[in-house]
A and B are shown apart, each in its own frame.
Chain A
Amino acid sequence: MSVFLLKRMGLAIVVALVVSLFSFFMLRAAGDPAIAMAGEGATAADIEFIRQRFGFDRPVAEQYLSWLGGALSGDFGESSYFAKPVSLLISERLPVTLGLGLAALVFSILLAVPLGMLAAVYPNSIIDRFALTLSVLGQAMPNFWFALMLIVVLAVWYPLLPASGNAEWRNFIMPTIVLGYYATPAIMRLTRSGMLEVLGADYIRTAHAKGIPARNILFKHAMRNAILPVVSIASVQFGYMLGGSIIIESIFALHGIGQLAWESISRADLPTVQAIVLVLSLIYVGLNLAADLINAWLDPRIRIA
């Protein structure tokens, strides 16, 4: 198990490094950060001044190495836009995004897993059809549109919830529904197909023959096996949610890391973008690692092989 763990972690670090390298060079190829920072009416002298002040005139490789050196010790440099340490900026904004992502994941699992199981236990029933409709809608509906419709209904027609902001927990209800619903179809379909497969297996028939109550068979015997792929997909979906929350955060004016990333790209705040890319890739890699470990724990065959 420890060899398995070490291998996985080593790989995770390499992936994160490669991501940071790519993002660093691609961002610099995208345009001159000094021009973007100087604003519209800037003169050539203004831009040159900013270029020197922030060290954009140094060779790119040198800039990368000095950035990486800092990043390894937790120093991501200073945001060229906010004029404060990027690590501080991220620590302020990350909780919003992580909280939203977690709430959305919980929402989507609570919605998808029971529905998927019911759909599998009663295939082709009304419940199954309902689950299918729900997942088709979830896949087909653009999430920004769903978000706006929710706002129109729950904030304008029936002013029950605040439309935007992150002042209190009620601000997070609509974004959680939108973001969570987006991940629901994949989890639900996978739960359903996994359950169907397992329910048709010989050992389930044997269990039935032994007279074990159906409830026990479903939760103790079938679910544990059917849930394996769901764990993997849920962790991947969580990664997508962190990315997908860029749009949701912007619509609901939640000042999280997604919105920060988006805004930072458009104002060429390179230190911030780099740090966010690195942090998000670390989270993503960490999630995959966690999924592997949970799967290994749930299924002994994985950790032995």
Chain B
Amino acid sequence: MRKYALGIALALTLNVGTANAGPNDDTLRIAWGGELATLDRYYNVLREGIVVGRLVWDSLLYKDPKSLEFKPLLAKSFRFVNPTTMEFELRQGIVFHNGERFDADDVVYTLTYVSNPENGVLTQRNVKWIKSVEKLGDYKVRLTMKQPTPTALEFLAGPLLIYPNEYYAKVGPKGMGTKPVGTGPYRVVGFKPGESISFERNNSYFDGSPKGKPKISKIVQRTIPDRNTQITELFSGTIDWIWKVPADQAERLAGRPGIQVVNEQTLRIGYLSFDSSNRTGNNSPVNNPLVRKAIAHAINRTAIVTKLVGGSSVVVHSACHPDQFGCEQAVTKYEYDPKKAKKLLAQAGYPDGFTIDFHAYRNRPYAEAIMGFLQAVGIKTNLVYLKYAALRDKVYAGKIDFNFMTWGSYSFNDVSAITSHFFKGTRDDYARNKKLIADLELGDSSVDRKVRKAAYSRALKTIAANAYWVPLFTYNVNYAFSDKLDFTPTPDEIPRFFAAGWK
């Protein structure tokens, strides 16, 4: 006992030593909650995987987070030969972290490998539009699509990272998952799956990359599942950067010396979804458009945004994020008007309201606020709060009359990633409107931006006029980090540490 007590006393007098994070040793220490099992971007589905992907690899194109323009990255230039064919001239003189030279073979190998369904890339949506990729010269490739794919540029500037062909052929996804090799601004020097990743600056990162030259020499990532622990690490200076801090904690953090909190929008929106086509067979009151409109009028979305969601969030009226391409804003708007809501309910044959199950999976306080507003006009709700996967099972099975959902559009700045996902007659679709489906089909398959815009505009107007959804608000993310760090978040929720530096 005495020895043990002595041991503890001794330990307490030792200093931590590692507490001097930040510019002193030019090391950026970041923490997040997600456990990355593999760093091979084609075989993980976490957002943290996207962040690592952008550090370690490059794609053919780059989407500027400010201007939203597509710029060539590994490509020197690109052009559409016809709606289903693209050609790329590639940059010369780029080398992978292991010294392998970057050329057309790498592009052909990577894109051919990932688009082959047998290789089991987890997010098939990203790759299944590719028909073939051919080498036209050492630094020239041609990509052929299965059908016109308006979102091709998004894929080529996002998830489609280019791997070194010789290395990948040798080590496969397992080797790439533990010892990744790319052309990107940082190389991985240490990886403990689910625990930590260490990065070192790629000093020979190529000139002229729209990503810019990396500044900080080392980045160390640690997985800390508990939010409070992350915050205490930030306080004690052993971590420089965390994100997804809840609004109430962010407020308190913002007042602490040495810490800055920045709020940034994301592409995620929250919405209420109804069974408009009686898919459940319950003959639910929400089958009636008057009831759906009544619900839309009953909820004070502005109050929810200002009092609960906070940050840079805004109320949305259209079934998409306002920043997305094609997100028509001139749609029917339902302002907060409980009297009108009651009138509509009476018209629909529910003068005394009704009782309905209300499903949700996240942000319970928001769901409860919505329930309060509904109660005020006579609609009683039973909250059924489920895990995401469980609720999605029920949605797919056609068992949900009324729910509060959110959608992040997997960072795609295009309404095809949200509106088409939910209203094209798939198992997510509870509207089942043929005209709407046809409009979305047209928007998704045309490469003429004007045609697409017009088609999506019609679709979004139909959705709003029928109140198939009640779009609620955009989400935001709070980033908390050392005030010595120069870091700018972007609305696509992909932190770009290669652009970060010290003040």
**Known A-B contacts A38-B122, A43-B125; A83 and B11 likewise in contact (beta carbons under 8 Å):** no
6 pairs, A vs B, C-beta closer than 8 Å: A42-B45, A148-B229, A155-B16, A155-B233, A251-B228, A268-B389
Q: Ordered nearest first, which 6 A-B pairs have the shortest CB separation?
A: A39-B45, A82-B37, A41-B410, A253-B224, A36-B389, A251-B226
Specify which of A30, A31, A83, A160 is in contact with B12 (CB 8 Å cutoff). A160
Least CB distance from B452 to A in Å reads: 20
Q: With a CB–CB cut-off of 8 A, which chain A residues contact B11?
A: 160-161, 170, 173
A38 to B43, CA, bound (A): 10
A42 to B393, CA, bound (A): 13
Q: Considering only CB atoms, which chain B residue lies closest to A251 in the complex?
A: B226
Cβ–Cβ contact A49 & B13, under 8 A: no
**Known A-B contacts A39-B123, A83-B177; A250 and B233 likewise in contact (beta carbons under 8 Å):** no
Q: With a CB–CB cut-off of 8 A, which chain A residues contact B223?
A: 253, 255
Cβ–Cβ contact A40 & B408, under 8 A: yes
Hey, which bits of chain B sit against chain A, CB under 8 A? 1, 4, 8, 11-16, 18-19, 35, 37-38, 43, 45-46, 117, 120, 122-125, 128, 173-174, 177, 192-195, 222-226, 228-229, 232-233, 235-238, 387-390, 392-393, 396, 408-410, 417, 421, 426-427
A300 to B12, CA, bound (A): 45
How many interface residues does chain A have, given as a range? 35 or more
229-280 of chain A: CB within 8 A of chain B: 250-253, 255, 259-260, 263, 266, 268
Cβ–Cβ contact B13 & A251, under 8 A: no
Tell me, yes or no, whether A298 is within 8 Å of chain B by CB.
Answer: no
Q: With a CB–CB cut-off of 8 A, which chain B residues contact A170?
A: 11, 14
**Known A-B contacts A79-B37, A255-B195; A46 and B124 likewise in contact (beta carbons under 8 Å):** yes
Cβ–Cβ contact A162 & B18, under 8 A: yes
A213 to B258, CA, bound (A): 63
**Known A-B contacts A39-B45, A156-B236, A159-B16; A253 and B125 likewise in contact (beta carbons under 8 Å):** no
Specify which of B13, B14, B229 is in contact with A252 (CB 8 Å cutoff). B229
Cβ–Cβ contact A46 & B125, under 8 A: yes
**Known A-B contacts A44-B426, A156-B235, A268-B389; A82 and B229 likewise in contact (beta carbons under 8 Å):** no
B-contact 0/1 string along A57-91, CB 8 Å cutoff: 00000000000000000000001011110000000
Cβ–Cβ contact A81 & B37, under 8 A: yes
Total A-B pairs in contact (CB under 8 Å)? Answer: 142
Specify which of A40, A45, A160, A165 is in contact with B15 (CB 8 Å cutoff). A160
Q: With a CB–CB cut-off of 8 A, which chain A residues contact B409?
A: 41
Q: With a CB–CB cut-off of 8 A, which chain B residues contact A302?
A: none
Q: With a CB–CB cut-off of 8 A, which chain A residues contact B35?
A: 263
Tell me, yes or no, whether A119 is within 8 Å of chain B by CB.
Answer: no
Cβ–Cβ contact A148 & B228, under 8 A: yes
A159 to B387, CA, bound (A): 38
Cβ–Cβ contact A253 & B37, under 8 A: no
Q: With a CB–CB cut-off of 8 A, which chain A residues contact B235?
A: 156
Least CB distance from B475 to A in Å reads: 13
A41 to B268, CA, bound (A): 12
Cβ–Cβ contact A161 & B12, under 8 A: yes
Tell me, yes or no, whether A134 is within 8 Å of chain B by CB.
Answer: no
Least CB distance from B18 to A in Å reads: 7
**Known A-B contacts A82-B37, A83-B177; A39 and B426 likewise in contact (beta carbons under 8 Å):** no
**Known A-B contacts A44-B426, A46-B124, A110-B4; A251 and B389 likewise in contact (beta carbons under 8 Å):** no
Q: Considering only CB atoms, which chain B residue lies closest to A148 in the complex?
A: B228
